[in-house]
Amino acid sequence: MNFNRPRFALATLSILATLSIPVLTCSVASIADADEPPTLVSTSKSPVIPEQVTFNAHIRPIMSNTCFACHGPDAEENPSGYRIDSFAAATSVLPSDDEAVGIKPGDPMHSEAFLRIIDEGNGEQMPPAEFRHRLTDYDKALFRRWIEQGAKYEQHWSYAPIVRPAVPAVNTFADKVHNPIDALF
Ligand code: HEC
């Protein structure tokens, strides 16, 4: 058989080229995807709303993802004038309406901030529709419970004074506890 080498090489090359087209297309597509900002950033995954909602564990992460960019301490631009990063500011009357407050402790349905986050579709929704992050239903439920429980703000944990925790009382295996650290486990 007359085995024609150059022709064989040419055929192999063209097969390889055809095969690599979809591979190349895929990688270009995934590079394009990577440029898209994530539309949903949820800081909280569990569907069960905790009994006690706290500012540092639950609310601060939500606010820093979805509110602080425009209503926080380092907001580059805060056209509304409303600040939500401290109890005093968040619970004051609104810059735009001295009959309403942003957060009314114990009463989410009279808290303009909460009404704005559950309001979808009439143009007053917060964060604004074009903002890069959204609140999930779970985030909204946490927000609601936090206001119901008094909207207590907490210092950032890194500024909070160190408090010595109480050593828990141990009933079972008490004979195995030789020092306070043992009691924690
Ligand atoms: C991208 C910027 C941006 C983000 C993020 C944002 N807001 Fe706003 N917010 C605005 C602007 C602009 C206004 C003023 C226009 C308006 O009233 O809709 C406003 C107004 C408000 C008002 C009414 C203030 C007033 O005086 O009437 C409240 C309350 C509010 N935002 C709460 C929130 C909460 C809560 C979040 C987070 C869940 C949030 N906003 C996230 C831009 C933002």
For 111-133, write each residue's pLDDT tens digit. 999 999 998 667 789 999 899 99
For 24-67, write each residue's pLDDT tens digit. 444 444 444 445 444 455 555 557 899 999 999 999 999 999 99
Strand pairing class (97-101; 93-94): antiparallel
Establish whether residue 97 lines the binding site of ligand 1, counting it when its CB lies within 6 angstroms of any ligand atom.
Answer: yes
Can you say how many angstroms the Cα of residue 143 is from the centroid of all Cα atoms in its chain? Answer: 12
Cα 125 to ligand 1 centre (Å): 8
Q: In the chain, what are the helix, strand and coil shares in percent, each to the nearest 5?
A: 45, 5, 50
Establish whether residue 127 lines the binding site of ligand 1, counting it when its CB lies within 6 angstroms of any ligand atom.
Answer: yes
Is the separation of the CB atoms in 174 and 97 below 8 Å? no
Cis peptide bond N-terminal to 127, omega within 30: yes
Q: How far is CA 119 from CA 104, 124, 130, 160, in A?
A: 17, 7, 15, 35
Report the pLDDT value the prediction gives residue 24, as an integer from 0 to 100: 46
